[in-house]
Amino acid sequence: MLFSKLKEEFPTLINNSSLLYFDSAASTQTHQSVLDRMNKYYEEERCNVNRGDFDISRKVSDDLEEARTSVGKLFNVDPNKIMFTTGATQGLNMVAEWYKDKQVVLISEAEHTANILPWIQQGRTTKNKRLQVIPIKDNGMLDMNVAEKLINQYGPTGFLSIHTTSNVTGIPTPHEKLIKLAHNNGMATCLDACQTPGTKKLKLFTTDFAVLSGHKLYGPTGIGILYSRLGFDKLRALTFGGDTANAYDFDGNITWHEGPSRHEPGTPNIAGILGMGTACEWLDWITYDKIEQKMMEIDLALSEAGLFDIEGMDLIYKNYRQNGRNVYTFNTSIHPSDISAMLSLENVAVRAGKLCAHPIVNKVSGGKGVLRISPGVYNTDEDIELLVKGLWKVMKRLA
């Protein structure tokens, strides 16, 4: 299997060697190089940034901008159009605030909670039609006929906010086609890109906004980015504090910084930014071609081990499985939480429940919840064999 020794580069999987980790759609493991860079900051360079004239402050300040450049390179965008956030959730809430006056917001039926609640919190519902939901068809794909109709109907009065890949189904959205259609109709767009860059190449430059989180691309928690195609100078700042203004006085005269720093007040998550930049460098070095090849090998190994043949486990949208899917979600004859709890006794990590995506999970499971298995590049043939054996054992014991 490609990257057969890659598991040795992820500290948790070494220090907890019996752990079988199959919850990468929630959080990938953190690569050793990321941890090394963060520890170097705390152990050798601990300081604040963009304020000090001493050596380590200047160096780390420069390194933060290098991290921004590394993120931009991985996603093929201008780094000056990237701001650092606490994660995708903060970015989506900011975008929702900027576009709260839009008549209608379009989302899909399979969105994550972070791309649903900020809009509902504005008083948008399907009943008052200020929230329009694009349905998922019986094959798991977005209903493009409905999407096209809604985009054509609402045009510049609407806003499209949609994921690139579902954290429940693992099925990607044809977001490039949707963005082009939206822009042709004068509609602004935002992508929740969290689930894609851990396994697939992603280009962001065509969308108006995009958000993602470091902890889903082998980086740290508590850090993410918000990409803005047109930059940040004309966007209203939502939080205020140190290092967002060049000068100000008590008479209200303020000269704001230009670019993303205007929206990054206070002391940033310095270690997190450095770690995220390193994660992006690692992904760029290892290449997405090899990552996608590894994930295809994992799919084949799961099949050969018998994951999709276990009685009482029914893969949702099973016809899509061979199309580059890296998330496997099942309806189960036994309550999924019971299965997950039993597996945890064997130190097997899978996910059960509604996966922070209640509408689509309620639809596919009748409200019961689902069992999700989501591998990462570090999973081995042995991991897969032990996972499937464990599932067979649990299903037989609980039947």
pLDDT tens digits, 328-363: 999 999 999 999 999 999 999 999 999 999 999 999
pLDDT for 281 equals 98
pLDDT for 399 equals 84
d(CA 292, CA 276) in angstroms, rounded, equals 21
Mean of the per-residue pLDDT values of the chain: 96
> For residue 324, is pLDDT > 80?
no
pLDDT for 147 equals 98
pLDDT for 320 equals 84
pLDDT for 249 equals 94
Which residues make beta-bridge pairs with 351?
A: 372
pLDDT for 57 equals 94
- Residue 290: pLDDT band (50, 70, 90) is very high
pLDDT for 105 equals 98
> For residue 2, is pLDDT > 90?
no
d(CA 69, CA 280) in angstroms, rounded, equals 10
- Residue 52: pLDDT band (50, 70, 90) is confident
- Residue 325: pLDDT band (50, 70, 90) is confident
Chain-centroid distance, C-alpha 218: 11
Catalytic: which of 47, 190, 194, 356? Answer: 356
More confident: 221 or 242: 221
Structure tokens at 332: 């189960």
Examine domains 6-22+287-398 and 37-285 and report if their fold is the same. Answer: no
Q: Mind listing the pLDDT tens digit for each residue in 66-96?
A: 999 999 999 999 999 999 999 999 999 999 9
Closest by Cα among 27, 33, 17, 29 to 378: 29
The reply to whether CATH 1.10.3720.10 applies to domain 6-22+287-398 is: no
pLDDT over 90 percentage in the chain: 93
SS3 string, 297-330, reads HHHHHHHHHCHHHCCCEEECCHHHCCCCCCCEEE
SS3 string, the chain, reads CCCCCHHHHCHHHHHCCCCEECECCCCCCCCHHHHHHHHHHHHHCCCCCCCCCCHHHHHHHHHHHHHHHHHHHHHCCCHHHEEEECCHHHHHHHHHHHCCCCCEEEEECCCCHHHCHHHHCCCCCCCCCCEEEECECCCCCECHHHHHHHHHHHHHHEEEEEECECCCCCCECCHHHHHHHHHHCCCEEEEECCCCCCCCCCCCCCCCEEEEEHHHCCCCCCCEEEEECCCCCCCCCCCCCCCCEEEECCCCCEEECCHHHHHCCCCCCHHHHHHHHHHHHHHHHHCHHHHHHHHHHHHHHHHHHCHHHCCCEEECCHHHCCCCCCCEEEEECCCHHHHHHHHHCCCEECEEECCCCHHHHHHHHCCCCEEEEECCCCCCHHHHHHHHHHHHHHHHHHC
Domain boundaries, the chain: 6-22+287-398, 37-285
Structure tokens at 129: 């039609």
> For residue 322, is pLDDT > 80?
no
Looking at domain 37-285, its CATH class is: alpha beta
> For residue 304, is pLDDT > 90?
yes
d(CA 283, CA 53) in angstroms, rounded, equals 33
pLDDT for 345 equals 96
Tokens 């959730």, residue? 89
Which residues make beta-bridge pairs with 108?
A: 134
Tell me, yes or no, if 47 is annotated catalytic.
no
d(CA 15, CA 10) in angstroms, rounded, equals 9
- Residue 11: pLDDT band (50, 70, 90) is very high
Predicted TM-score (pTM) above 0.75: yes
Give kind and range of the element (H or E) at residue 372.
strand 370-373
Furthest-apart CA pair in the chain: how many Å? 73
Q: Mind listing the pLDDT tens digit for each residue in 82-132?
A: 999 999 999 999 999 999 999 999 999 999 999 999 999 999 999 999 999
Q: Mind listing the pLDDT tens digit for each residue in 176-190?
A: 999 999 999 999 999
Of the candidate ranges 211-215, 241-245, 357-361, 364-368, the one whose mean pLDDT is the lowest: 241-245
